[in-house]
Amino acid sequence: MTAGGFLLEAAARSGWFGLMTRSVGPQIRGGEAAALLRFSNRRVDVPAESYNILFVVDWLNFDRFSAEIHLTPDTMVIADPDSGEVPEVVVKSGARMFDMPVKQVLGAIEGGRPNMLATGVVGGIIGLPIDTIYELIQDNLGSKGEKAVNSSKATVEAGYRFAETLTDAPALAEPKKSDKRRWIITGNEAAGLGAVRGGVRFAAAYPITPGTEILEWLAPNLRKLGGALVQAEDELASINMVIGGSYGGVPAITATSGPGLALMTESIGLAVAAEVPCVIVDVMRGGPSTGIPTKSEQSDLNIAVYGLHGDAPHIVTAPNSVSDCLFTTQWSVYLAEAMQTPAIVLSDQFIGQAKIVIDPPADIAFVGKRLLAQNIEGEYRRYAVTESGVSPMAVPGVAGGQHTADGLEHNPRGTPSTRAEDHMTQMNKRLRKITGFDYGSHWAEIDGEGELAVLTWGSCTAAALEAVEAAREAGIAVKLISLRLISPCLPDAMAKALEGVKKVLVVEQTHSGQFANYLRAQYELPSEVRSYHIPGPLTIRPSEILSQIQDWS
């Protein structure tokens, strides 16, 4: 893991872009692990189709990763001949094998560690400047003392020396340097940053893989901003703490994954009824039940859209890349605050945990701005019926604004009511808030023109974009539509986006085609619709989508 991080950062410092994902065994500590890296001189948002270099520390449980680590006859595999038998899958791939006496090399260096050797070998092969790696060692290990720094440097150097002995090694294209310092960030960190940029100053947290990192990022950083995070006893508590904090006038967030979202749904309905803004980031993983916590899937779509009881209009958004976690989370805070309703952000394990090199993101104007009631005279009506559906909210401390926020159906004043008229009026108002809102162009990313459109969302977007670009190079005109706003649906905007489109290929990472079913139910689609839906744990590769496009053209 350290090796991957060093390589990514060294590449970034030298002007390359890159993406790192991790794959780990189920052990809490000491399990097998793989760091998967892709480098380029332009931004990369999707893991590689196949790998050029595989550095093997040992072969134990390699079969667990073999489906994710696609090897070809061009792949260089560097492994210690003493580290066990080469797995059959590797032999069959036809990859080129290079023996390296890893144990022997490490044994000769006091304090020599495999991760530093891997850094040196791979850095040497792809041509990263060794001095950049030395800088990183100094920055990261300097506090451990000169001895640790020197032994790491010596190990890296041994790796570089070995790399020099290899022939026909792949090299990176020329780097593209930038005047501005690039960022290295994970989707989960980006979501945390997006939240605070959007104005979030309160969070409640219950740990769950892979959402925890958002909460762990928020804990110290909210404090730095004068805000607070509370660790809750369960997700039933965390969502209600968030509702309580937001009722106090402080924009609030929690992050979770599928099982946690399931527990939260009753109270998200409360936030709908009581009109309390809040943001819930669901970093999706394989389901149902505990499923595959460490792997990605988009199968919480149904529960996010339909999981609340009663008619409960709310917002569902989805970031479409690692870095878009920043924009979409920030935008979702803005939407929730503007419409005084909950927003569920559907991120996933891949974009949440992938680490990426990006140009520094622009400042986005979206900052949560709640319509507040101040200087109240006369009777205050919390749920006053307005044209937009949004009613000025009095927060505690404002004289004359006292009211009871209620999950029971209520009249405009907030008094519980079972009258048909009140139910209808309030339901209309809550729906109108979100269907009449101007979402601008952010509801979807739309790219290119063509009679065939790929319709996708979330982390499938990057793979779809690569596939669409490859198709265009092959002379096939394809349009890409990636939805950032999942719910509510925008029939007019979609109709416009689909103008001239005759065939739609829906791409998603679910077993049952949840997204395709949702689109069919909610939108007017062209008569020809194909659904390409594959569950996790494997991410959908650009080549799979490309072959779907080619088959249909």
Partner 1 sequence: MTAHTAPAFKASDYKSDIKPVWCPGCGDYHVLLSVTRALAELGRRPEDVACISGIGCSSRIPAYVNCYGFHGVHGRSLPIGTGLKVARPDLTVLVAGGDGDGFSIGGNHFQHACRRNIDITYIVMDNRVYGMTKGQPSPTTEPDWDSALSPGGTGLSPFHPLVIALASGANFVARTFSGDPNRTTEVLVEAIKHPGFSFVQILSPCVTFRPDERGWKDVVHTAAVEETDDPARAARRIMTDDGFNIGILYRGNRAPYKLTGREATSDTDQLGEMFAI
Q: Which residues in this chain contact partner 1 in the complex, by CB under 8 A?
A: 9, 12-13, 181-185, 189, 193, 196-197, 201-202, 204, 221, 223-228, 230, 232-234, 236-250, 252, 266-267, 269-270, 274, 357, 360-361, 394-408, 414-416
Burial readout 369-398 (b: 16 or more C-beta within 10 A, e: otherwise): ebeebeeeeeebbbbeeeeebbbbbbeeeb
* Residue nearer to partner 1 on the CB measure, 145 or 378: 378
Q: For 360, what's the count of Cα atoms within 13 Å in the CB-facing half-sphere?
A: 7
Smallest distance, partner 1 to C-beta of residue 191, A: 13
Kindly state the helix (H) or strand (E) to which residue 530 belongs, with its residue range.
strand 528-533
* Residue nearer to partner 1 on the CB measure, 233 or 377: 233
Q: Strand 183-186 and strand 355-358: pairing?
A: antiparallel
Smallest distance, partner 1 to C-beta of residue 43, A: 14
For residue 472, give the 3-state DSSP assignment. helix
Q: Strand 228-231 and strand 444-447: pairing?
A: unpaired
For residue 178, give the 3-state DSSP assignment. coil
* Residue nearer to partner 1 on the CB measure, 382 or 479: 382
* Residue nearer to partner 1 on the CB measure, 336 or 497: 336
* Residue nearer to partner 1 on the CB measure, 199 or 535: 199
Smallest distance, partner 1 to C-beta of residue 135, A: 11
* Residue nearer to partner 1 on the CB measure, 234 or 524: 234
Q: Which of 545, 549, 506 is nearest to 525 (CA)?
A: 506
Partnered with residue 37 across adjacent β-strands are: 20
* Residue nearer to partner 1 on the CB measure, 127 or 400: 400
Smallest distance, partner 1 to C-beta of residue 150, A: 24
Q: Which of 225, 190, 187, 218 is nearest to 204 (CA)?
A: 218
Let me know: does 283 contact 211? Beta carbons within 8 Å.
yes
Smallest distance, partner 1 to C-beta of residue 197, A: 5
| Tokens linked to 255 | 């992050």
Smallest distance, partner 1 to C-beta of residue 207, A: 15
Q: What is the DSSP letter of 314?
A: -
Q: What is the DSSP letter of 55?
A: E
Q: What is the DSSP letter of 463?
A: H
| Tokens linked to 476 | 């096939």
Q: What is the DSSP letter of 144?
A: G
Q: How far apart are CA 65 and CA 69, in angstroms?
A: 6
Smallest distance, partner 1 to C-beta of residue 428, A: 22
Let me know: does 45 contact 384? Beta carbons within 8 Å.
no
Q: How far apart are CA 325 and CA 540, in angstroms?
A: 19
* Residue nearer to partner 1 on the CB measure, 352 or 401: 401
For residue 455, give the 3-state DSSP assignment. strand
Partnered with residue 10 across adjacent β-strands are: none
Smallest distance, partner 1 to C-beta of residue 401, A: 7
* Residue nearer to partner 1 on the CB measure, 72 or 138: 138
* Residue nearer to partner 1 on the CB measure, 21 or 240: 240
Smallest distance, partner 1 to C-beta of residue 213, A: 14
Phi, psi of 174 (to 5 degrees): -55, 135
Smallest distance, partner 1 to C-beta of residue 124, A: 21
Q: Which of 363, 369, 285 is nearest to 327 (CA)?
A: 363
* Residue nearer to partner 1 on the CB measure, 326 or 463: 326
Smallest distance, partner 1 to C-beta of residue 405, A: 5
* Residue nearer to partner 1 on the CB measure, 309 or 502: 309
For residue 255, give the 3-state DSSP assignment. strand
Residue 336 C-alpha from the chain's centroid = 19
Smallest distance, partner 1 to C-beta of residue 243, A: 6
Q: How far apart are CA 510 and CA 179, in angstroms?
A: 41
Q: Which of 33, 44, 123 is nearest to 355 (CA)?
A: 44
